[in-house]
Structure 1
Amino acid sequence: MRIVITSTHQRVDGPDGVNYFIFGLADELVGRGHDVSVVTALECDVEKVREMFRLRHTVPIISLTEHTKPGVQRERLKVWAGRGRRQVRALRPDLVIINGTLPLRLSDNDATVLHDCCDWHLGQQPLVSRSLHRWARALGRFLGYHLSRHLICTCGEISEVVGREVPFTARKCKVIPIGTRMQEVVAVSERERLLVHIGTASHKNPLPTLRAFAKMETPDVRLAFMGGPSAELEAAVSKLAPEIRSRVTLTDFLPRSEFLSLLQRARVVSIPSDYPVAVCSPSALESLAVGTPVVCSESISQDVVPEGVCGFRVKLTNYETEAARHLDDLFGDDVLWQTMSRHAQRHSARFSFDEVSSCYERLLPGMVAKEEGPAVATVGGS
């Protein structure tokens, strides 16, 4: 069947969790025999996408404009209401998967995917004023939720908030997580004494990881930050004691193969992200898929990291102290690490793109649904 996956607000050729979901899902659906196209509002480097996301199949990418950066909201909305809607309908899709919220209908079978609770992503600038901007966002959400046939929340926490704040969505709301690809798991004896932090943007919150690392009692651990280092992070690293500073490295985003190799070599991944509502974190899922335990903040959904099973969830207000303790345990206790690593791989299999694709296939008209599938639930389900 014909499926269109849209990115409403950002370039799809960047190292972003939503982009990873878009192309991982598209690749899996093509492999299942579906005709899948990705439609994006902005210009896209197709070769960069293929290299970054290691696509196994050809996925057509249609750019609606030649712009390279998001513009103001009304410009983005104008593109989608005009050229975007015409382009999507010309493809005659059986299902349109919309990442972000659009206050318009693209097809008779739209599925709007909410990756977080700040979802009206039509640009960064207010229309006229901050007050009007807030009203516009609220109206955009209401229309988008109302017009979309399916409302997909990527974790239970988002589903609960949406169901509470927008009660009319309850009957159309489902929980389907973002997916991950299962990878080879490296034994503890072959792992490096390495702690990894992915991303250095403000919401990725790298400083708590650095402070927790500095408080660790295990002396031989190294810390690697992946993502363009910010001035704030560089300044914080420079203030560390020389012995600690010498074990910290800052790198840019890595090619896909090197990134996976880094996760497979690491002993633990730290994710103290800061979101108003917990999210289904691709960084956490990819770590678990290679059997690497995670220490994270409560901004990472408990659906992804059940406490004490394949990692630990820590309050941000006490992250550096509590995370340091858990990190010392995971670096110092091979039995604990091996137990969590086994649980990580077993748990992450529930989030494989094979499982997630099956959930989206159930939204297609006339498709026979599997009777069981832990990734799908109604609001309030688990």
Structure 2
Amino acid sequence: MRIAIVSPYSWSYPGGVNRHVEALADELTGRGHELRVLAPWDPPGRLTRLRHRSPAPAGEPPDYLVPCGPTFAFGANGAVSNIGVFPGGVTKMRRELRAFAPDVVHVHEPLVPMLAADACSYRGAPVVGTFHTYSTSAFPNRAATLLGARRKFNQLRARIAVSQAAAWTGRRWFGGEYEVIPNGVDTGASPAGPAPASEELRILFVGRAEERKGLPVLLTAFGALIEHHPARLTVVGAEAGEVRRYLPDPEVEAQVDAVGRIGGDELWDRLHAADVLCAPSLSGESFGMILTEAFAAGTPVIASNIAGYSEVVTDGVDGVLLPPADPQRLAEELQAASEDRAELARMGVRARESARRFAWPRVAERVEAVLERAVTDPVPDPASRLDRLARRTGFVPIDGSPLVPARRLPSLDPQPVRASSRHRAVRRAAFGIAGLLGVALTFVAARRIGVDNAVTSIVRSDLSWVLVATALMSASLVLRASSWYAIARSALPHNPLRRRDVTSATMIGVLMSATLPARLGEPARAMVLARRSGRMRETLPVLLGTLVSQTALNIVALVGLGTIIVLSTELFHANTERLFIFSLAPLLLLVAVLLAPTLVRGNGSGRVARTAAAARGALLKVRSGLVVFRDPRRGPVAAVAQLAAWALQLLACFALFTALGLDHDPAINIGAAAAVLFAVNVTAAIPATPSNVGVFQLATISVLSTGFGVAAADALAYGVILQAVEIATAVALGVPALVREGMTWSDLRLQALSAAPVRLAPRDRRADETA
């Protein structure tokens, strides 16, 4: 057969899909088929480095590869995909397909633009699609459906999935029938014979330094392991600097070798020399080719019990499956492996036997059979012109088979351990009460004022000034991030902090504060940054202390706002002086942080004393976050940036007066804007509702109506628009930052577990042997 294989990913940058395509192409060529691979290609050069932020590996494309344009690197879901997005690549692919005139076209990852998605509609030969991805996220899959993915896939003559997880994704979101044919492995590529003996437990990790791959979890567990057992960790796929960001402890770093990207014989040598391969991914794995390669090298695996991995590893036979994001359990399994090398060796023997299931000759034979059926199986003629049109446009399968719709399916991932039903009920009740409180407060205000009047004021507002206020709010958040960067650099001078990481954490914190009550965004942003700045349990308390530093600067800003109010208005002669009582809350927090380590003593040797000592140590780390005020270089930078952020927010509040036409009132001046900003920030010290809904509007009405004589309807409209601007800014800046992190809130919660201390107790081997 003349077979054309289409891949949407750059051939220049190695990846799982193209490794699969390359091995399959070699097998099919060896079986006598004439073959072409059409894929993007990025030649070495400055433009490639610019588009990918890294140079393309040197090398020439194989003879069967037809380069179809360059690619861009896109980061999403915690990974980087190098995808061709240039129309010229699609044009060349179509031209080459017409010239080659294949008997069948085999498209990999049909969902990915632009080459693969376009090739699904090729009319010159039957098209077969292979699906590699496992995805449970509703939004991207539903968006793909709206853009026509189901109709594209109905134009495929057959569908292959590399795993049950990939088949689940197709059936759940796009419908259709899938034949599961796993990724293959070259069982003869690994060196033969046993690996050299070593007193150290040789652990291997293969993957990029991504949260989703679980490298921080492994490093946390490894740090606990080496306290009791000699061990060495080799990280393939990440550079030393990337690993150091997660593990700055020099003692642990000395036992970690980061060798960067390697492949071919060198990777096989590493797999063969390792005692165990660790794959602690959090989620999103479709198959795990590296697991089968470890099996082929005779190396057992310790992997997360997630979809994609659980169908490769047989727990207790050729490896161990454990819950994702559980560094304590991972450390315990590594300890058991270090102490029982005989069982580890037996697992290695069984792993080689398991690898035979995935041998490339067997896999290629099954793929070949599907391709042949697509060419030879008869297709019934359309019953009518309408049927022919429906087939060509993808509304029904192109081969006339019955339409199989998408359907809800139970998750393949193991169910996480949930909190008790009582705790869940209490949590839901608390959120429900908070939401009802916000709605009730807004309803009371609207009823007294008149909804129609408030809506009229909102509709008449000047959109251009609203956009100006939004831009000022956005700029203020960037300045707040700059201030926090200076504070954090001063508190953690030896940690690898990056400005963009601090900015992302700031935006995620703002997004969380805008959607949840009780200012949960503050600890959330500290946690996000702690994941990228070293050992989480060491850096998180310090970063929490840096938030206290920002709180101190915020107190200075509130004092400044109060000064502006006193000098330019008569507000504090009215009945709003009670706001000053609430403004004491941040000051009390600052005093508590300064005095707590002195008040908490760790004297004695009992359990309470040990707890007190641990608490005092954590509080001292929190207090170390205030060191910026003794830093003559970064202290002024932090103060200026934070106070400038408040100034921009003040201008944003005044811009909204102009948007509603209130600036024509002589009483409305910069002091009125300062009063509003003061009120909404003081009442938001500990908000009871998400985004302080209800309380926010009442505070605005109280200040503007009581102190400045603004009509209640206009004051309510002002409060609604001001809060809408804040929420829109939080979403516009927070969502891209969250996407950059490549983590869902659920993953973020799981990763927080690695901040908990991991401790291993030394085992008594003689007692174990006696037992």
TM exceeding 0.5: yes
1:364 aligns with 2:371: yes
Partner amino acid for 1:100? Answer: E
1:349 aligns with 2:366: no
Match of 1:99 among 108, 112, 115: 108
SS in 2 for 1:112: strand
Match of 2:219 among 192, 196, 210: 210
> Do the aligned residues in 2 keep the contact of 1:44 with 1:63 (CA within 8 Å)?
no
Counterparts of 1:133-152 in structure 2 under 5 Å?
A: 135-136=143-144, 138-152=146-160
C-alpha displacement of 1:255 = 4.2
Partner amino acid for 2:281? Answer: S
Q: More displaced, 75-84 or 225-234?
A: 75-84
Q: 1:162: which partner in 2?
A: 170
> Do the aligned residues in 2 keep the contact of 1:38 with 1:59 (CA within 8 Å)?
no
1:82 aligns with 2:91: yes
C-alpha separation in 2, matches of 1:141 and 1:85: 20
> Do the aligned residues in 2 keep the contact of 1:188 with 1:338 (CA within 8 Å)?
no
Q: 1:64: which partner in 2?
A: 68
C-alpha displacement of 1:132 = 9.9
C-alpha separation in 1, matches of 2:32 and 2:131: 26
Change (3 A) 1:161 1:283: same
Q: 2:543: which partner in 1?
A: none
C-alpha separation in 2, matches of 1:79 and 1:317: 43
Partner amino acid for 1:268? Answer: V
Q: Deviations for 1:200-219, whole angstroms, at most 9, x for unmatched residues?
A: 24232311111121122652
Change (3 A) 1:94 1:7: same
C-alpha separation in 2, matches of 1:324 and 1:81: 49
Q: 1:31: which partner in 2?
A: 30
Q: Deviations for 1:234-283, whole angstroms, at most 9, x for unmatched residues?
A: 12221x3x44321111121124211111111010111122333x411111
C-alpha separation in 1, matches of 2:14 and 2:140: 32
Change (3 A) 1:95 1:326: farther
Q: 1:237: which partner in 2?
A: 247
C-alpha separation in 2, matches of 1:138 and 1:116: 19
Q: 1:175: which partner in 2?
A: 180
Q: 2:255: which partner in 1?
A: 247
Q: 2:740: which partner in 1?
A: none
Q: 2:133: which partner in 1?
A: 116
Q: How many residues of Structure 1 are paired with residues of Structure 2 in the alignment?
A: 345
1:219 aligns with 2:225: no
> Do the aligned residues in 1 keep the contact of 2:205 with 2:278 (CA within 8 Å)?
yes
Q: 2:16: which partner in 1?
A: 17
C-alpha separation in 1, matches of 2:32 and 2:179: 24
Partner amino acid for 1:87? Answer: E
C-alpha separation in 2, matches of 1:185 and 1:50: 30
C-alpha displacement of 1:360 = 1.0
> Do the aligned residues in 2 keep the contact of 1:188 with 1:334 (CA within 8 Å)?
no
Change (3 A) 1:234 1:361: same
SS in 1 for 2:333: helix
C-alpha separation in 1, matches of 2:209 and 2:17: 15
C-alpha separation in 2, matches of 1:324 and 1:37: 47
Please report the TM-score for the alignment, with normalisation by the length of structure 1.
0.79
Q: Deviations for 1:325-345, whole angstroms, at most 9, x for unmatched residues?
A: 222222321221122111111
Q: More displaced, 344-353 or 320-329?
A: 320-329
Change (3 A) 1:296 1:357: same
C-alpha separation in 1, matches of 2:351 and 2:163: 18
C-alpha displacement of 1:184 = 3.5
C-alpha separation in 2, matches of 1:140 and 1:342: 47
Change (3 A) 1:232 1:260: closer
C-alpha separation in 2, matches of 1:108 and 1:358: 21
Q: 1:285: which partner in 2?
A: 292
SS in 1 for 2:218: helix
Q: 1:194: which partner in 2?
A: 202
Q: 2:324: which partner in 1?
A: 316
> Do the aligned residues in 2 keep the contact of 1:4 with 1:93 (CA within 8 Å)?
yes
Q: Deviations for 1:177-227, whole angstroms, at most 9, x for unmatched residues?
A: 111101344425546631111122423231111112112265211001112
Partner amino acid for 1:3? Answer: I
Q: More displaced, 186-195 or 176-185?
A: 186-195
C-alpha separation in 2, matches of 1:20 and 1:315: 28
Change (3 A) 1:219 1:181: same
Change (3 A) 1:60 1:188: closer
Change (3 A) 1:312 1:290: same
C-alpha separation in 2, matches of 1:133 and 1:163: 12
Q: Deviations for 1:281-340, whole angstroms, at most 9, x for unmatched residues?
A: 11111111101111111344322112222111222132x112222222223212211221
| Identity level (%) | 24
Q: 1:373: which partner in 2?
A: none
The structure where strand makes up a greater share of residues is 1
C-alpha displacement of 1:368 = 12
C-alpha separation in 2, matches of 1:185 and 1:212: 31
C-alpha displacement of 1:96 = 1.9
SS in 2 for 1:316: coil
C-alpha separation in 1, matches of 2:193 and 2:332: 24
Q: 1:330: which partner in 2?
A: 337
SS in 2 for 1:358: helix
> Do the aligned residues in 2 keep the contact of 1:186 with 1:265 (CA within 8 Å)?
no
SS in 2 for 1:244: helix
SS in 2 for 1:364: helix
C-alpha displacement of 1:149 = 1.3
1:295 aligns with 2:299: no
C-alpha displacement of 1:22 = 0.9
Change (3 A) 1:88 1:259: same
C-alpha displacement of 1:74 = 11
> Do the aligned residues in 2 keep the contact of 1:26 with 1:59 (CA within 8 Å)?
no
> Do the aligned residues in 2 keep the contact of 1:194 with 1:223 (CA within 8 Å)?
yes
C-alpha separation in 2, matches of 1:325 and 1:316: 14
Change (3 A) 1:230 1:260: same
Unaligned runs of 5+ in 2: 45-55, 75-80, 111-116, 377-406, 410-771
C-alpha displacement of 1:105 = 1.9
> Do the aligned residues in 2 keep the contact of 1:218 with 1:332 (CA within 8 Å)?
no
The structure where helix makes up a greater share of residues is 2
C-alpha separation in 1, matches of 2:147 and 2:282: 26
